[in-house]
Chains A and B, each alone.
Chain A
Amino acid sequence: MKEPLIYSISSPGRIGVNLPECDVERAPLPDSYVRQDLPLPEVSEVDLVRHYVRLSQLNHAVDKGFYPLGSCTMKYNPKVNEEAARLPGLVHTHPYQPADTVQGNLFLMYQLQEFLKEISGFSGVSLQPAAGAHGELAGVLMIRAYHESRGDHKRTRMLIPDSAHGTNPASTTMAGYETVQIPSDAQGNVNLEELKAHCDDTVAGLMLTNPNTLGLFEQHMEEIARLIHGCGGLLYGDGANLNAILGIVKPAAIGFDVMHFNLHKTFATPHGGGGPGAGPVGANEKLAPFLPGPIAFEEFVQEMCDCEEEHEAEEGCRYELRMPESSIGRLKAFYGNFGVCVKAYTYIRMLGAAGLLQVSQDAVLNANYLLSRLKSTFPLPYDRTCMHEFVLSGRLPDAPDVHTLDIAKRLMDFGFHPPTIYFPLIVPEAIMIEPTETESKETLDAFAEAMIQITQEARTDPELLHSAPHVTPVSRLDEVRAARQPVLQCLKG
């Protein structure tokens, strides 16, 4: 390790914060409950700051360079969002304060619900889910609750294309359904014949990502929706790729009944090294009553203002939290990742409708430009106009010993974060690239040139790739050893 572990910079008697003295009379401690030992480190503030600053410098991050991680939408995170989410009047509010003392928060939640409804075309939105997968679980549970509410207990199977994110089948299992995998066709669409063969009265629904994880817009969307709805199933939309279609098309209009949004992808809230995200879920009229709650409602009120000298009738809106009528219930304590919602609200307010449309247009333009620069160098399994991302194969015909992993690791030497690799599973040696709209043409050109140079190195000096990366804090790490001889904390050997 470049930086010593925090326990190794610990020394008895040090502390990193100055705490107040007790200003009340001490109560006797219940000795039998008190712990004997607390093995936490003891570190001074300056050592702690340097420890974390040095650690931060070992990371690649969007603020350091290009991060074309497919399906993750690693766009620039505007700084104004961070400022907004740190406003003291928002931060220092307790979730159980009386509604009248948090009207600002509830207004903001209500407005964000309305914005997301308008962008998606759905009739209800809940901000409860804390992440995309959490939103998926909400959606599948809503589908289940809908069928159950109609006394339709036969439906036990969820259809999922083979290009789907792993969270889709995992969410399906958690909701008590069986996953049925549907293959893709030669154009990267859902195979319609296979889909038809599975459509019957045991189908709860289909979970579809559109644009899909190949970065392609499903060309038979209307037919798919007709088939699923025709057999009594419902259509779940995985909103991971919404960044391609803001203001281009509304998900509800192409047949989705319920969908989650990833505020940490589409709406520019940062990923935080793995979280927090936020995965609000939207639904049409059929499914909205089943949304997780509570959600924010607006009420028009007329009240007498008895303040000051003038006794005038004052009209206005009041906001409160309520459970939807047939809600699947709470998915977490309190009301969702509010702090993340503040950032998404800020982003949507700054961009407006025209700005959001521009986002998707440039995200798709950037992806197609990068694709046009790379398609003659790398195998392209599905040669179509892509949306916000595209998938190449790292199986280079004249460099058989070189794998996608080698290409990815070598990219680090050029200062780029590698794309998503080995996903989707249906493309051998997949390289999934999502540039996002916030990258300049110069950055895209530099990345394309690095990729092209690496293919040349793959032919002339494959060892350079096999031994990559060369300039990172550590070289390639032994993941097999990590799993076989797990060391998961530093207190026990």
Chain B
Amino acid sequence: MSYIPNTETDRAAMLQKIGVESVDELFRDIPQALRYPDLRLPQPASELEVLRELAEISEYNLDLAHFPCFLGAGAYRHFVPSIVGHIIGRSEFYTAYTPYQPEISQGTLQTIFEYQSMICALTGMDVSNASHYDGATALAEAVLMAVSVGRGKRRKVVISAGVHPEYREVIRTYTQGMELTIAGEELAPLDATALAKLVDANTACVIVQNPSFLGYMCGLPALRTLAEATHTAGALLVVSADPISLGLFAPPAEYGADITCGEGQALGGGLNFGGPYLGYFACKQAYVHKMAGRIIGQTVDRQGRLGLVLTLSAREQHIRREKATSNICSNEALMALAAAVYLGALGKNGLRKVAELCYHKAHYAARELSAIPSFTLLSDQTFFKEFALKCPAPVDEINDYLLEEWNIIGGYDLGRDYPDLEDTMLLCVTEMNTKEEIDTLVEALRSMEESL
């Protein structure tokens, strides 16, 4: 079963038209000694068998639909309205290619144009592209863009330790051939004042994550001061932000961001074990020609009717080759569609409501958990849906206990990335966590603490 309609009769007629005796003759340019190697793959399975096999494989996972979960750390469990799956499941969308031929791709083009508009609405930025692979690669592309805006002369990147540790690793991977200096990670996460002191004439950009990886929000006055210092030095301020938080909190444009990007998975994407996700990316109008990726723009057809096309392609690899702003070609269009449907369904009131549910539930959980003796909050700073909890035992041990005794998936071990945050757990609470789940977590940790 190879989904091939050709019959033996078809094949014979086609070979005759081509003028060869056998299909083998078509492969004569391939070295004969290497032709037709043995492929040791499992025997083919029927559709029934393969679905059974996959269902069985999936049973070796603990499925979060059945276990309360307090993990976040860059991948978030939010409610996905039913409409999202139905729309992205339409094969007119998912079996189309990049909309190179606009006259027969107005569906995809308009969904992305509306996505770009809604990303601008969320972030307060002027322009958005059609997507990056994920939040980490969007941020790495922001670094490349900032270096390019500085005409390659500015070789330093100041980055807060409050940026997702894996995002910082991806920036290092992307820039390993570029001889950049990376500074700022040794400072306390989201200490905007200390970060500002590192900015100099060699700095291409300053990167902060807000809310930070630890969940905390940076105050607007401190961010505005950082933006001012950054701009005075001629560098760009890059903000990585959880888009759900932007349903409630000030958009990065309000405190001086030049580029706002981040992980858009929370907008209608599932957890999917880490991918496919959605890198959203938006910037000020002045930098649009340095932006990477696809951009959709409005124009008219020959009758003067409005229509949409891929535009500003002179930035891209298929036109500019080695001088392109980036090598990106495929992006995450279908995930951008999911985000657009999600934002359309929630609208201005729904997104605010989801953000508020996260905020109130996370604060309820933080208050209750920190009331247990020997559990304390790392900080009393304002936070959104995640917070760091100092624990009386190693996080791994607590998580094992929560899973084995209470069927709860606990939080993220911050000691993995921050050596001075040993025994500190990053907990995430969203609208998916009921009060009952939170109370059970509190009860579990209380009983563990009593048995210590």
Contacts and interface: CB of A to CB of B under 8 A. Distances in A.
25 contacts: A1-B308, A16-B350, A30-B382, A33-B382, A42-B347, A48-B345, A52-B87, A59-B108, A72-B97, A94-B409, A103-B61, A134-B328, A137-B327, A141-B177, A144-B176, A221-B31, A271-B96, A274-B99, A339-B270, A339-B276, A353-B39, A355-B1, A368-B26, A483-B297, A489-B113
Interface residues of A, number: 204
A169 B341 CA distance: 36
B272 interface: yes
B97 A74 contact: yes
A170 B106 contact: no
A177 B177 contact: yes
B41 A348 contact: yes
Contact of B26 (A22, A101, A348, A385): A385
Interface stretch (B47-55, B185-193, B197-205): B47-55
Nearest to A340: B276
Contacts of B307: 1, 474, 477
A408 B270 CA distance: 38
A236 B47 CA distance: 36
B99 A475 contact: no
Contacts of B28: 385
Interface in B1-32: 1-6, 10-11, 13-15, 17-20, 23, 25-31
Interface stretch (A247-255, A281-289, A304-312): A247-255
Contact of B96 (A60, A177, A253, A358): A60
Nearest to B131: A275
Contacts of B260: none
A451 to B, nearest CB: 15
A49 B254 CA distance: 33
B223 to A, nearest CB: 10
Interface of A is mostly: loop
B420 to A, nearest CB: 20
B309 to A, nearest CB: 5
Contacts of A23: 434-435
A130 B435 CA distance: 37
Nearest to B62: A101
B69 A20 contact: no
Nearest to A480: B299
B337 interface: yes
B438 interface: yes
B412 to A, nearest CB: 6
Contacts of A97: 61-62, 64, 71, 409
Contacts of A61: 91-96
Contacts of B54: 84, 87, 90, 342, 345-346
B267 to A, nearest CB: 11
A170 B347 contact: no
B58 A373 contact: no
Interface residues of B, number: 207
Contact of B39 (A40, A49, A119): A119
A115 interface: yes
B253 to A, nearest CB: 10
Interface in B363-388: 363-364, 367, 382
Contacts of A351: 1-2, 44
B274 A333 contact: yes
B242 interface: no
Interface string A130-142: 1111101100010
A382 interface: no
Contact of B103 (A82, A131, A349, A412): A412
B208 to A, nearest CB: 15
A173 B322 contact: yes
B330 A275 contact: yes
A6 B348 CA distance: 13
Contact of B311 (A80, A133, A486): A486
A170 B302 contact: no
A448 B101 CA distance: 20
Contacts of B450: none
Contacts of A98: 399, 403
B364 to A, nearest CB: 4
A40 B247 CA distance: 10
Contacts of A330: 136, 166, 169-170, 173
A33 B87 contact: no
B86 interface: yes
Nearest to B357: A22
Interface stretch (B153-161, B228-236, B288-296): B288-296
A467 to B, nearest CB: 7
B103 A474 contact: yes
B88 to A, nearest CB: 8
Contacts of B131: 274-275
For A35, A134, A274, A423, the residue with the greatest tally of chain B CB atoms inside 10 Å of its CB is A274
B75 interface: yes
A78 B3 contact: yes
A151 interface: no
Contacts of B333: 272-276
B2 A359 contact: yes
B101 to A, nearest CB: 6
A35 B251 contact: yes
B59 A89 contact: yes
Interface in A257-290: 264, 268, 270-278
Instruction: Select the residue from B4, B179, B340, B412 with max chain A CB neighbours within 10 A.
Output: B4
A373 B104 CA distance: 26
B11 A417 contact: no
Nearest to B323: A173
